[in-house]
Structure 1
Amino acid sequence: MDIANCLALIERLCAREFPAEHGRTDVGTGGPGYLMAALRTSGDLQGDDGAEREMVEAQYEADRDALAERLTERWGPADVFGLAGVLLRSAEGEAAAEPWGTLAAHVPDVHLWRAGPDRWVALGVSRRDGELPCRLLAVVTDTDPP
């Protein structure tokens, strides 16, 4: 992972306007109030006995932590925000505002910074159902965490 490139991408996300509609962007996905980009995506882990997935997840967590150190220099210490409650409420029929609902479906927690008066920046490692690729995600949103 190239930290400088990841930080530059996060900077671009912070400076952009949010899309008016949900959909793909040139760097990932977005919609009203958010932009999401995969900073790293693993290869296919389907059929893995679990050892490779654990190794990839550990590496992506280390990458997230390295980025977090740099973002902490800029915005102060991150809050670690668990998304299990959001996922539970979604399962009970309560819709979470985006991007939090989408994140909760496959990211257990995010490192979260307030990046100015109207932006949040979150980093998380996607661990979706054990078969799909792992991803290190960066999210910029103006939607407060639930």
Structure 2
Amino acid sequence: MTLARHLATIDLLRSRAFPARSGRSDVGDSGPGFHTAELSTSEDFWEDRSHMDLVEEQYEAEREALAALLTGRWGEPQTVSLSSLFTRSSEGEEIPQPWDFLSACVPDVHLWRVDGRWVLLGVSKWDTELPYQLLAVVTETDPP
């Protein structure tokens, strides 16, 4: 059932117009040229490293299961590391949204080009004190 909800959310994002201004939506953040959805969010945890490893594995497995369903629809995704974008942003280069946001918290994404828009899946992990999130992004902005 969860994967079905995730697919429905991605389909919803693909059908929505992009807003003129950045702000919160019912499923995440949206702005000019992009929508993000927080498909699932783990609980906060701080000290139990073994628990963190299990949660990370769970979120990666959930992303892979969802990616398999999307691959059935659109073909094989590109898997793209965002580390170079993070480095470029850290060095002062202006990186467009949603790529700048993603590069700060998602190490890599699965990426499809569908009907003139990019669809991305990634697992965010900001810090040991913050939860994991399975993120979906729909954007018209090409990867920088």
Return the TM-score normalized by structure 1.
0.96
What residue ranges of structure 2 are gaps of 5+ in the alignment? none
Tell me which residue corresponds to 1:31: 31
Once the two structures are TM-superposed, the CA of residue 95 in structure 1 deviates from its matched residue by 1.4
Report the Cα distance in structure 1 between the residues aligned to 2:137 and 2:48, rounded to whole angstroms: 30
Report the Cα distance in structure 2 between the residues aligned to 1:130 and 1:83, rounded to whole angstroms: 19
Once the two structures are TM-superposed, the CA of residue 9 in structure 1 deviates from its matched residue by 0.5
Structure 1 runs of 4+ aligned residues shifted over 6 Å read none
1:121-140 matches, cutoff 5 A: 121-140=119-138
Report the Cα distance in structure 2 between the residues aligned to 1:71 and 1:31, rounded to whole angstroms: 24
Tell me which residue corresponds to 1:61: 60
Q: Given residue 122 of structure 1, which amino acid in structure 2 is its aligned partner?
A: L
Once the two structures are TM-superposed, the CA of residue 127 in structure 1 deviates from its matched residue by 1.2
Report the Cα distance in structure 2 between the residues aligned to 1:49 and 1:95, rounded to whole angstroms: 37
Return the TM-score normalized by structure 2.
0.97
What is the percentage of aligned positions where both structures have the same residue?
Answer: 54
Once the two structures are TM-superposed, the CA of residue 89 in structure 1 deviates from its matched residue by 0.3
Tell me which residue corresponds to 1:120: 118
Report the Cα distance in structure 1 between the residues aligned to 2:79 and 2:137, rounded to whole angstroms: 14
What residue ranges of structure 1 are gaps of 5+ in the alignment? none
Report the Cα distance in structure 1 between the residues aligned to 2:32 and 2:110, rounded to whole angstroms: 22
Tell me which residue corresponds to 1:3: 3
Tell me which residue corresponds to 1:18: 18
Tell me which residue corresponds to 1:107: 106
Report the Cα distance in structure 2 between the residues aligned to 1:57 and 1:17, rounded to whole angstroms: 32
Tell me which residue corresponds to 1:89: 88
Q: Residue 19 of structure 1: SS of its match in structure 2?
A: coil
Deviations 1:81-125 (A, max 9, x none): 100000000010001100000000010000000111x20000000
Tell me which residue corresponds to 2:73: 74
Once the two structures are TM-superposed, the CA of residue 48 in structure 1 deviates from its matched residue by 2.3
Report the Cα distance in structure 1 between the residues aligned to 2:111 and 2:105, rounded to whole angstroms: 16
Once the two structures are TM-superposed, the CA of residue 26 in structure 1 deviates from its matched residue by 1.3
Report the Cα distance in structure 1 between the residues aligned to 2:82 and 2:25, rounded to whole angstroms: 24
